[in-house]
Amino acid sequence: MRSNYKKLGDFISKVDVRNKNLQTENLQGLSMTKEFRKSTSNIVGTNLKKYKIVGKNQFACDFMSVIRVHKLPVVLHSSDDLIIVSPAYTVFKIIDETVLNPEYLMMWFRRPEFDRYADFRCDSAIRGGFKWDELCETELPVPSIEKQHEIVKEYNVVKNRISLNEQLNQKLEETAQALYKHWFVDFEFPFNKESHPELVSGSQHIGYKSSGGKMVYNEELDKEIPEGWKQSSLKNLCQKIASGATPKGGKQGYGADGISLIRSMNVYDYHFFENNLAFIDENQADKLKNVTIQAKDILFNITGASVARCCIVPTQILPARINQHVMLIRLKNKDILNNYLLYNLCSNESKKELIGVSEAGSTRQAITKSEIESFGVLYPKNEVLLKFERSIEPIMENRNSVTRINNELRKLQDLLLSKMARVEDKLILTYE
């Protein structure tokens, strides 16, 4: 054992406090990102007295998932509120917090090297799997408590900045969603009364429907829409719709740099998550040249838990290709349709329709190319689309700018985590 490394088992102990008095019904699950999340389990009629209570500064972990997801879902509960977790999970605490800081330990659990270690121990364990004994045998550096506090403080500065930026992006997103709904669901897009003196008087730019704008019945949609608007299949609006493939060799064939390979884990509603990008070489990329991504292409997840999430590709990750779980949607008229279609596909109404199609014929959520091509899109007049593009573009630019900053901050987070293995080095926090 390295001189500054200690076995974790010397610092932790199991906790088994049951919810006997029904102190709380706040049942939480563990995410793959090592966060608590509200459980989606139906607890009606469930005996919650058997569930385990997790107190402040205690950890919950799911040893059963390591061999399946190749990482240990382990989460630190940092709130004063009591929560409960599945009785199948292990709950533990630090024996002496004046020797080992819980947040410092959670940082160690977040290191990809730790998950690789847990995955390796699963493969080599005689009993099969990563369990409490294997966790206790984990070695980690345990510097002075003062040094631990310093490391945690620097990490939390970055973490809190990311959280604030995410809140800002959420506000921007809510503004953009409200704008889309006002224009294309409520049909209250700005209307110039000088061009239509027959409409009600008021300000120069007034809402179309409430001002008496002419509405016509559309049989395909079974509702009234503004005069001059129409329904079109997505295929008719696109010059290309296609999905890619995983290069030969799978994950083992990925490199540290090269041409970006976009996977479903990169595509979220409205934004692109850059930090988990895979990279392939020129030979691998050439075999996927049919799905060479261009600026302003829309990326759409077609399988798995992230089905129907979509975003516009950021230019900074080009050149790029996509794997089989992602569809590229390239419009004929990108300049006026891209942001409109993005918000259309991300709307609850579109998701219900698209996912509903897949659920009808498959036990696993999946959307086929033909289903995307036949998806009906309400096509407003070009003049309305142009106005929407001009109105929403500043919001999108702000969101993209904040997202780029957060991507850099996450890289800094990764750097701070990697430096934990050399705690004698001074961690220097620098970012803009």
Spell out the per-residue pLDDT of the chain, length 432, in tens. Answer: 466 789 999 999 999 999 999 999 999 999 888 999 988 777 777 889 999 999 999 999 999 888 888 889 999 999 999 999 999 999 999 999 999 999 999 999 999 999 989 988 886 544 557 899 999 999 999 999 999 999 999 999 999 999 999 999 999 999 999 999 999 999 999 876 555 544 444 445 578 998 889 999 998 888 999 999 999 999 999 999 999 998 887 777 888 889 999 999 899 999 898 878 999 999 999 999 999 999 999 999 998 878 999 999 999 999 999 999 999 999 999 889 999 999 999 998 898 888 876 555 444 478 999 999 999 999 999 999 999 999 999 999 999 899 889 989 999 999 999 889 875 444 434 333
| Residue that has been written with the tokens 């705690």 in this structure | 423
Pairing of strands 259-262, 320-322: parallel
Question: Are 266 and 313 within 8 A, CB to CB?
Answer: no
Question: Are 36 and 74 within 8 A, CB to CB?
Answer: no
Question: Are 137 and 113 within 8 A, CB to CB?
Answer: no
> Other C-beta atoms within 10 Å of 32: how many?
14
| H-type alpha helices, 186-323 | 234-237, 282-286
Q: Name the strand (E) or helix (H) holding 205.
A: strand 205-207
**Beta bridge mates, 123:** none
Q: Name the strand (E) or helix (H) holding 231.
A: strand 230-233
* Sign of the alpha-carbon torsion through 330, 334, 340, 342: positive
Pairing of strands 320-322, 215-218: unpaired
**Beta bridge mates, 54:** 83
pLDDT number for residue 430: 39
Q: Rounded to 5 degrees, what angle do the CA atoms 113, 262, 352 make?
A: 110
Question: Are 147 and 422 within 8 A, CB to CB?
Answer: no
pLDDT number for residue 356: 78
219: which DSSP letter? T
The predicted model scores a pTM of 0.79
pLDDT number for residue 122: 80
Number of residues that this document lists for the chain: 432
Q: Which residues contact 378 (CB under 8 A, 6 or more apart)?
A: 184, 221, 225, 229, 230, 231, 344
Closest CA to 211 of 233, 229, 228, 195: 195
d(CA 71, CA 117): 9
Question: Are 374 and 234 within 8 A, CB to CB?
Answer: yes
Which pair of structure tokens corresponds to residue 157? 């500065």
d(CA 363, CA 372): 18
Q: Distance between terminal CA atoms of the chain? A: 39
Measured in degrees and rounded to the nearest 5, phi and psi for residue 182 equal: -60, -40
d(CA 14, CA 26): 21
- Around 268, how many Cα atoms within 13 Å sit in the side-chain half-sphere? 9
Question: Are 218 and 231 within 8 A, CB to CB?
Answer: yes
Closest CA to 406 of 205, 50, 135, 162: 162
